[in-house]
Structure 1
Amino acid sequence: MSEPTANLYYDGSCPMCSAEMKHLAKHKTDQLCLLDIHQAELPPGKTTEDLLTVLHYKAPDGRWLTGLDATLAVWSNTLLGKALTVLRWPVIKPVADSAYNLWARKRYARLYGKAHD
């Protein structure tokens, strides 16, 4: 019996996102599906704009993680992921999350020409 699958929804039109996914594809397990938002079927309750604003990860148990939490979830089983756990330390987490959210808003505005709340 195979393990449940996790899905990571990413923006395939974003050069930086695509580069990260290409690198991640070399290190991921078969239980992680990398899904380009522009080519994948949208999950129930999510819009294209929802998925484009920040990275979305659906865990095998159905939980959704977004932003930096999604990034850390998919990299957690790699050597890089072990080093990234520092980003969840209580004193660093708010700064890391703020930096990611700022980057995500600017990336979205640059690629799609509009701001998103």
Structure 2
Amino acid sequence: MSLPLPTASAQLFYDGRCPLCAREMALLRKHARAGLTLVDIHSLDCINDAEREQLLRDLHLLQPDGRWQLGVEANVTAWSFTPVGFLWKPLRWKIWSGVVDRVYRRWADKRYCKNYACALDNPH
């Protein structure tokens, strides 16, 4: 992927054309401490259509060390930059992280298809 290189802050890539995503990012922007940069995928000129689609299908967070986090893991990490981040940590507990990930996957696929007109019988 020809995305921007890792920086000193974590970079959360989000769909700025999704109303729900935009509202959540507004909350994150308002409450996040230093160390998190929010990047609207639609503002990136350096990626091709396949890369843009990949980013739009899942929330992506690029750590300063170059590691990627996706989906719920990316969301939990992003919220850890706020005073209420501890409230999101239970979503990664082993006891229910599998269920949370499946629910997120279904929601993310439906959200993508609703906004970008695809067939749900062939996600990704």
**TM-score between both structures, scaled by the size of structure 2:** 0.84
Which residue does the alignment assign to 2:62?
A: 58
Is this contact kept in 1: 2:61–2:68, CA < 8 A? yes
Aligned AA for 1:57? Answer: L
Residues 1:16 and 2:23 aligned together: no
Q: Distance in 2 between matches of 1:42 and 1:107?
A: 24
| Residue 96 of structure 2: aligned partner | 92
Match of 1:68 in 2: 72
**Within 1, Cα distance between the matches of 2:12 and 2:45?**
12
Greater CA deviation, 95-104 or 79-88? 79-88
Q: After TM superposition, give the deviation of residue 43 of structure 1 in Å.
A: 6.2
* Counterparts of 1:39 and 1:78, CA distance in 2: 24
- Decide which moves more: 97-106 or 70-79: 70-79
Aligned: 1:37 with 2:25: no
Q: Distance in 2 between matches of 1:42 and 1:55?
A: 18
Maintained 8 Å contact 2:62/2:69: yes
Residue number in structure 2 paired with 1:103? 107
| Aligned AA (2:108) | A
CA displacement at 1:57 relative to structure 2 = 0.3
Gaps of 5+ in 2: 1-6
Query: Does the Cα contact within 8 Å between 2:11 and 2:38 map onto a contact in 1?
Result: yes
Q: How many residues align?
A: 114
- State TM-score, norm by structure 1: 0.89
Runs of 4+ in 1 over 3 A off after TM superposition: 41-44
Which sections of structure 1, spanning at least 5 residues, go unmatched? none
Percent identity reads: 41
Q: Could you tell me whether the CA contact under 8 Å between 1:56 and 1:67 is conserved in 2?
A: yes
2:16 counterpart SS class: coil
Whether the 8 Å CA contact 2:58–2:71 is kept in 1: the answer is yes
C-alpha RMSD of matched pairs (Å): 1.8
Tell me if structure 1 keeps the 8 A contact 2:35–2:81.
no
